[in-house]
Amino acid sequence: MQSDSTPSQVAAVVFDLDGVLVDSESVWDEVRKRFTEENGGHWHEGAQRDMMGMSSVEWSRYVRHRLGVQMEPERISAKVSDRVAELYRERLPLLPGAVEAIRALAAKWPLGLASSSNRHVIDLVLEEAGIADAFRATVSSEEVGAGKPAPDVYLAAAERLHVEPSACVAIEDSTNGIRSAHAAGMAVIAVPNPDFPPDPEALELADASLDSLTELSPDLVLKSAA
C-alpha cells in the first residue's frame, strides 16, 4: 500500500516483462525462427523486429500469413509459447537487478505488469523468479484488443490496479513498448536492450533512460513523473 510519505503523483508502477525483467528476446526469436523453418515457413531477418510487442494473437497470425506456416494461429501460438516455457524452466534468463528493483518499488507502490507474452508464460516467469507476490495486477496483451504499440495492455493494467494511467510510471525497453506506455498517458523509464535497441524517435518519448535495472530506484521513479 502506498505510504503517506510517497508523493501522490505516482500511484503505481507498471513493468514490461520481455527485455526488462528477463533477457527473453533472443529466446523468442530463436524459437519462432526454428519453428517457422521446421514447419515449411520462410524466416527473414526483419521478422523479429516486426513481431516485437505484438500480442500472441498478432504474431501467430504474422507467422502464418507473412512467414508461410500453414497452421492455425492458435496452434502456432501454443506450440511456440510452450517451447519458450520449457526453456525457461531449464534456465530463467533474469536480467541483473530485476528482483531487487521489483522488491524496492513494491515497497513503495502497487506494481502491475503489462506484457506481450502469453498468460501462462507470464505466470511461469513470475513464479520461477519468486516475485509473483509483488504484483497486484498482470495483463497479457492476448487479453486485450491490440498489442503494443497500441496502449490497450497498459490501460488494462492501470484499470486492474484501480489507478489513473497518468498516475503510473512504466518501465520499458522496446520501441513498441515505449510507444504503448506513452500512448496510455504514463511516464516512461526506458531500459534499452543493447541487442534490440529502441528507435531514437521512440526513446525520445521516455522521461528517463537507464543502462540497467540496477540503476532503477524509487527516487528515479518520482523524478520521471515530476
Predicted local distance difference test score (pLDDT) of residue 71: 96
Predicted local distance difference test score (pLDDT) of residue 7: 40
Separation CA 16–CA 35 (nearest Å): 25
Q: Which of 92, 113, 108, 111 is nearest to 172 (CA)?
A: 113
Look up residue 209 and give its amino acid. S
Whole-model pTM: value is 0.90
- Could you tell me the mean pLDDT of each successive run of 10 residues in the chain, 226 residues long? 50 97 92 97 91 87 97 96 97 96 98 96 98 98 91 98 98 96 98 90 97 96 93
Predicted local distance difference test score (pLDDT) of residue 203: 96
* Positions marked catalytic: 16, 18
Helix (H) or strand (E) holding 48: helix 47-51
CA angle 195, 218, 205 (to 5 degrees): 50
Separation CA 32–CA 82 (nearest Å): 11
Domains observed in the chain = 12-24+93-225 (3.40.50.1000), 25-90 (1.10.150)
Q: Which residues pair with 115 in a beta bridge?
A: 140
Predicted local distance difference test score (pLDDT) of residue 52: 80
Q: Is the dihedral of CA 123, 19, 181, 134 positive or negative?
A: positive
Predicted local distance difference test score (pLDDT) of residue 160: 98
